């Protein structure tokens, strides 16, 4: 179906060299992308300064930025961010490796499938964060228990995605590889895993934000350093500037992680047809 | 019979739990026997503790989720239908989507205090974006031919939106709602664990603090089961709703 594409007005294309026109267009698009975010921040600042909210309810954006700046100079920001990232990413790495291994075992071994399948299908939709007090009871409040909690929450999407991905690998690929004399290990590393990679990556892309969510909750509940812990401390002292600073910091960290993951996906799947198609969201 | 063999591993785990606790392989305070947990659960039901806390938790989750679905779906469909709205809102959606929603817990408390309001707001804010993105992707992938034929048959804008775009957005929209449903339980329990005076999270926290671990396990398992049951029920409803597609 012929859709009308409006990349740029045609008069413009004739009047100026194509390159310059594209540059102007890119500039315009970049501005359009940040315009509403700037608008949102401006509204925040104006609302906070107008006095319709108390300082406790809504500190001005400029104050929040100043607070983040101070934290950055004193080093607190980096310590907290590094600790949160360390917990979330360690757990995420464990989830990625263990999840793919369990998923592979389930699709190759009937016994493993028999054992894990009901656990996955019952455990996946459960709110596993409810087990947090149990994890504290068993492992205390330090890194081990935080990381364990994140793994419990974030491993399910990886396992489920791996199982579905391996089921979806085309039979013809496997048959022809076998025909050409691939042994089991070669079949796994050279055929099944690459073919299953897109869906496994999708599972990982679900697991990564989830691990950050759980990391923040775990830090809030168990206290100590970390972005979540710092927010909770600020909240206890009714320091709402600190709380809003925490949200901005966590938002930035989350945004960067998700974007990095999308980038890795594009790099890893260069050979796949999806890379040529525009990604959604 | 097939169902029994399928879920046998869960039964085995339950037996292993009971044995490990009874034979004192692990300390019974860390892992009370399953039978104790069940009797504690029955006691909690008899007290009415579990029921009243469950009611307030489910009210919060239900209200927040209903708001999120209503606002989120409208927003997503409007974004797909009117380009200017999309240009204005999509950067904001894109920025807030990766935000770990649990970071909002202290802010909602600052705004609305310790009661129902802050939990409902948190669940609403946290669950809205998955629904929005589902509705947006669904409505955008609506077949142009359908829109055109509706227009040629004389449907006005609103009619077209309701009769063509909304139904074709439905599958992806419902998928987004499923994500939101799971998220609502996570946010509910974690916000109640951190600050609350009633609800599941509060009950778990206070029972744990009292050292009555068998009752704590009972509540934890109840929440886990409710989340699971809600998901299964939702899948059933979705299958019914989308039956027209085949």
- Cα A48 from Cα A38, distance rounded (Å): 15
Interface A-B, measured as beta-carbon pairs within 8 A, has a size of: 157
Proportion of chain A above pLDDT 70, given as a percent? 91
Min CA distance, A103 vs chain B (Å)?
17
Do A34 and A74 reside in the same domain of the chain? no
Do A246 and A173 reside in the same domain of the chain? yes
Nearest to A280 among B88, B89, B137 (CB): B137
**Residue A281, in any domain of the structure:** no
Domains along chain B?
34-245 (1.10.3720.10)
Residue B27 CA, distance from chain mean position? 34
The mean-pLDDT minimum among A94-98, A154-158, B170-174 falls in: B170-174
Residue A75 CA, distance from chain mean position? 25
Nearest to B220 among A116, A118, A131 (CB): A131
Do A31 and A146 reside in the same domain of the chain? no
- pLDDT of amino acid A277: 54
Do A69 and A151 reside in the same domain of the chain? yes
Q: Sign of the C-alpha dihedral, residues B35, B39, B44, B48?
A: positive
Do A36 and A72 reside in the same domain of the chain? no
- Cα A76 from Cα A61, distance rounded (Å): 20
Q: Note the pLDDT tens digit of each residue in A2-43.
A: 444 445 455 555 556 777 888 888 887 777 778 888 888 888
CB A212 within 8 A of CB B100: yes
CB B61 within 8 A of CB B185: yes
**Residue A78, in any domain of the structure:** yes
Q: How high is the mean pLDDT of chain B? A: 85
**Residue A155, in any domain of the structure:** yes
- Cα A62 from Cα A81, distance rounded (Å): 21
Please name the residue of chain B whose CA is at the shortest distance from the CA of residue A3.
B144
Nearest to B231 among A125, A136, A138 (CB): A125
Confidence of residue A273 (pLDDT cuts 50, 70, 90): low
Residue A91 CA, distance from chain mean position? 13
Select the more confidently predicted residue: B197 or A85.
A85
Percentages (nearest 5) of helix, strand, coil residues in chain B? 85, 0, 15
Do A115 and A22 reside in the same domain of the chain? no
Tokens at B65, concatenated: 């989720």
Q: CB B103 to CB A235 under 8 A?
A: no
Q: CB B144 to CB A281 under 8 A?
A: no
Domain residues for the domain of A234 are 61-276
**Residue A3, in any domain of the structure:** no
Q: Note the pLDDT tens digit of each residue in B17-50.
A: 888 888 877 777 778 888 888 888 888 888 888 8
From chain A, the residues in CB contact with B212 under 8 A are none
Do A108 and A243 reside in the same domain of the chain? yes
Do A25 and A130 reside in the same domain of the chain? no
Do A123 and A197 reside in the same domain of the chain? yes
Q: Note the pLDDT tens digit of each residue in B178-188.
A: 889 988 998 89
- Cα A249 from Cα A78, distance rounded (Å): 10
**Residue A4, in any domain of the structure:** no
- Cα B59 from Cα B64, distance rounded (Å): 8
Q: CB B99 to CB A247 under 8 A?
A: yes
**Residue A240, in any domain of the structure:** yes
Q: CB A36 to CB B137 under 8 A?
A: no
Do A133 and A189 reside in the same domain of the chain? yes
Tell me: pLDDT of A274 over 80.
no
Q: What is the CATH number of the domain that holds A226?
A: 1.10.3720.10
Interval A201-205 mean pLDDT = 89
Going by C-alpha positions, the residue among B113, B128, B129 that lies closest to residue B191 is B113
Confidence of residue A279 (pLDDT cuts 50, 70, 90): very low
Do A230 and A211 reside in the same domain of the chain? yes
CB A155 within 8 A of CB A99: yes
- pLDDT of amino acid B1: 64
From chain B, the residues in CB contact with A119 under 8 A are 9-10, 13
Q: CB B87 to CB A131 under 8 A?
A: no
**Residue A96, in any domain of the structure:** yes
- Cα A98 from Cα A194, distance rounded (Å): 17
Do A246 and A128 reside in the same domain of the chain? yes
Interval B96-110 mean pLDDT = 86
Total domains in the fold of chain A: 2
pTM score over 0.80: yes
Nearest to A118 among B7, B189, B190 (CB): B7
DSSP-derived letter for residue A182 is -
**Residue A124, in any domain of the structure:** yes
Confidence of residue A275 (pLDDT cuts 50, 70, 90): low
From chain B, the residues in CB contact with A129 under 8 A are 186, 189-190, 193
Q: Which residues, at least 6 apart from B32, have a Cβ–Cβ distance to it below 8 Å?
A: B21, B40, B213, B214, B217
């Amino acid at each position: 179906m012929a859709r009308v594409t409006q990349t740029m007005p045609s008069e413009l294309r004739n009047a100026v060299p194509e390159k310059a026109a594209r540059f102007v267009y890119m500039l315009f698009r970049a501005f359009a992308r940040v315009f509403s975010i700037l608008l949102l921040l401006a509204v925040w600042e104006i609302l906070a300064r107008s006095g319709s909210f108390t300082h406790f309810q809504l500190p001005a954006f400029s104050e929040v930025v100043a607070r983040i700046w101070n934290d950055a100079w004193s080093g607190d920001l980096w310590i907290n961010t590094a600790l949160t990232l360390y917990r979330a990413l360690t757990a995420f790495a464990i989830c990625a490796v263990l999840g793919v291994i369990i998923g592979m075992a389930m699709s190759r071994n009937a016994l493993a499938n028999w054992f894990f399948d009901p656990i996955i299908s019952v455990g996946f939709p459960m709110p596993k964060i409810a087990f947090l007090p149990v994890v504290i009871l068993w492992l205390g409040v330090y890194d081990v228990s935080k990381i364990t909690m994140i793994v419990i929450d974030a491993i399910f999407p990886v396992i489920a995605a791996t199982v579905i991905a391996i089921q979806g690998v085309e039979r013809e690929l496997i048959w022809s590889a076998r025909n050409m004399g691939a042994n089991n290990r070669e079949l796994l590393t050279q055929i099944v895993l690459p073919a299953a990679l897109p869906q496994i990556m999708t599972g990982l892309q679900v697991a990564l934000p989830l691990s950050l969510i759980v990391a923040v909750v775990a830090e809030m509940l168990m206290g100590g350093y970390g972005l979540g812990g710092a927010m909770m401390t600020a909240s206890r002292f009714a320091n709402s500037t600190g709380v809003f600073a925490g949200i901005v910091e966590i938002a930035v960290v989350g945004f960067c992680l998700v974007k990095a993951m999308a980038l890795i996906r594009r790099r890893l799947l260069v050979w796949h047809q999806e890379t040529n198609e525009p990604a959604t969201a | 019979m097939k169902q029994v063999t399928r879920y046998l591993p869960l039964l085995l785990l339950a037996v292993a739990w009971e044995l490990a606790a009874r034979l004192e392989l692990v300390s019974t305070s860390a892992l009370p026997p399953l039978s104790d947990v069940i009797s504690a659960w029955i006691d909690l039901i008899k007290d009415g503790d579990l029921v009243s806390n469950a009611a307030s938790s489910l009210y919060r989750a239900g209200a927040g989720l209903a708001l999120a679905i209503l606002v989120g779906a409208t927003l997503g469909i409007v974004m797909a239908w009117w380009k200017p709205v999309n240009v204005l809102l999509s950067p904001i959606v894109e920025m807030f989507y990766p935000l770990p929603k649990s970071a909002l817990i202290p802010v909602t408390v600052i705004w609305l205090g310790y009661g129902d309001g802050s939990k409902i707001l948190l669940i609403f804010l946290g669950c809205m974006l998955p629904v929005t993105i589902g509705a947006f992707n669904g409505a955008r992938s609506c077949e142009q031919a359908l829109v055109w034929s509706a227009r040629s048959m004389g449907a006005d804008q609103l009619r077209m939106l309701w009769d063509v775009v909304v139904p074709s957005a439905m599958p992806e929209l419902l998928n987004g709602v499923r994500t939101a449903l799971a998220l609502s339980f996570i946010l509910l329990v974690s916000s109640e664990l951190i600050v609350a005076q009633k609800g599941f999270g509060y009950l778990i926290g206070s029972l744990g603090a009292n050292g009555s671990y068998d009752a704590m396990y009972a509540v934890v398992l109840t929440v886990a089961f409710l989340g699971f049951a809600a998901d299964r029920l939702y899948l059933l409803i979705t299958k019914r709703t989308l039956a027209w597609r085949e």
